[in-house]
């Protein structure tokens, strides 16, 4: 049973951002500090990646653990309220993520996905992974 009224729950859910989240901002700021230029939330790219390097064809997604199913086999058992809603919703998000990855890769894109917890705790490692892909593209292009 939900502890919030339907109106309170609606207000909480409306506050959940689908772009411009804290994890996106952390990664974007770190990349900007390193001198990278990129596009954010580009709807012209399949899946509307959070960060896009067009020339290199690199799509970066910043995935929150809850909505994208981190450690799903364990975590889905921890959902206590509205399981009939949340479990199918999150599982569909996971399926959609896989479909987007496959379509982008088929079109020659490099797809990078980072969990929010990794972005927060290991921002530098996430940036290094992106840099490796950018550098690899630049080496191959020469």
Q: Where residue 53 sits, what CATH number does that domain have? A: 3.40.960.10
Q: Looking at the domain assignment, is residue 13 inside a domain?
A: no
Q: Looking at the domain assignment, is residue 2 inside a domain?
A: no
Asked if residue 50 lies in contact with residue 24, where contact means CB atoms within 8 angstroms, the answer is yes
In this predicted structure, the answer to whether residue 49 has a pLDDT above a threshold of 90 is yes
Q: Looking at the domain assignment, is residue 3 inside a domain?
A: no
Q: Looking at the domain assignment, is residue 82 inside a domain?
A: yes
Q: What's the domain range around 50?
A: 18-141
Residues 6+ apart with CB under 8 A from 130: 31, 36, 51, 53, 58, 60, 112
Q: Which of 40, 29, 54, 39 is nearest to 104 (CA)?
A: 54
Span 2-18, pLDDT tens digits: 676 767 756 665 555 55
In the chain, where does DSSP find H-type helix?
6-14, 22-33, 65-68, 72-75, 83-106, 116-121, 123-141
Measured distance CA(140)–CA(123) in Å, rounded: 26
Measured distance CA(54)–CA(37) in Å, rounded: 10
Q: Looking at the domain assignment, is residue 111 inside a domain?
A: yes
Q: Looking at the domain assignment, is residue 59 inside a domain?
A: yes
Domains in the chain: how many in total? 1
Strand duo 58-63 + 51-53: pairing: antiparallel
Measured distance CA(130)–CA(37) in Å, rounded: 12
Measured distance CA(8)–CA(14) in Å, rounded: 10
Span 50-76, pLDDT tens digits: 999 999 999 999 999 999 999 999 999
Q: Which of 36, 52, 40 is nearest to 111 (CA)?
A: 52
Question: Taking the model in full, what pTM does it have?
Answer: 0.85
In this predicted structure, the answer to whether residue 125 has a pLDDT above a threshold of 90 is yes
- Mean pLDDT of all residues belonging to the chain: 91
């Amino acid at each position: 049973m939900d502890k919030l009224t339907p109106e309170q729950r609606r207000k909480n859910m409306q506050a959940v951002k689908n772009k411009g989240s804290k994890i996106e901002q952390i990664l974007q700021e770190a990349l900007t500090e390193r001198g990278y230029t990129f596009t954010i939330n580009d709807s012209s790219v399949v899946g509307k990646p959070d960060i896009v390097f067009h020339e290199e064809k690199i799509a970066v997604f910043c995935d929150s653990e809850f909505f994208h199913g981190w450690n799903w086999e364990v975590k889905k058992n921890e959902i206590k309220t509205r399981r009939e809603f949340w479990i199918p919703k999150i599982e569909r998000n996971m399926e959609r993520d896989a479909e987007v990855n496959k379509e982008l890769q088929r079109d020659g894109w490099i797809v990078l996905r980072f969990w929010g917890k990794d972005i927060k705790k290991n921002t530098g490692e996430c940036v290094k992974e992106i840099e490796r892909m950018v550098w690899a593209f630049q080496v191959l292009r020469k």
